[in-house]
Amino acid sequence: MAMTDVLSAEDIKKAVGAFSAAESFNYKKFFEMVGLKKKSPEDVKKIFHILDKDRSGFIEEDELKFVLKGFAPDGRDLSDKETKALLAAGDKDGDGKIGAD
């Protein structure tokens, strides 16, 4: 499955482009721009599984660093600061990883 099976290619391109500058990533705005906020929980889980590169059932910090590349191959890597902010926002139980729920 590809991101474009769930999300609009145009929305992905705009969102990845909007955060191409270093230290500009805002996960709330990004997820809104790609259309995730309007998707069903099932569609969000599909995106989660695409981003879970090692198929562990979790998205760990090393996978989050490359989250923009998960949406578009030409996306940049997140900085350590951006990665930690995204992890902190999604890690509800403090175990250092984000689960599908």
80 is in an annotated binding site: no
Instruction: Look at residue 58 and give its three-state secondary structure.
Output: strand
In angstroms, the Cα distances linking 35 to 6, 23, 40, 54, 81 are: 9, 22, 11, 24, 24
53 is in an annotated binding site: no
56 is in an annotated binding site: yes
77 is in an annotated binding site: no
43 is in an annotated binding site: no
Q: Which residues are annotated as a binding site for Ca(2+)?
A: 52, 54, 56, 58, 63, 91, 93, 95, 97
Q: Which residues are annotated as a binding site?
A: 52, 54, 56, 58, 63, 91, 93, 95, 97
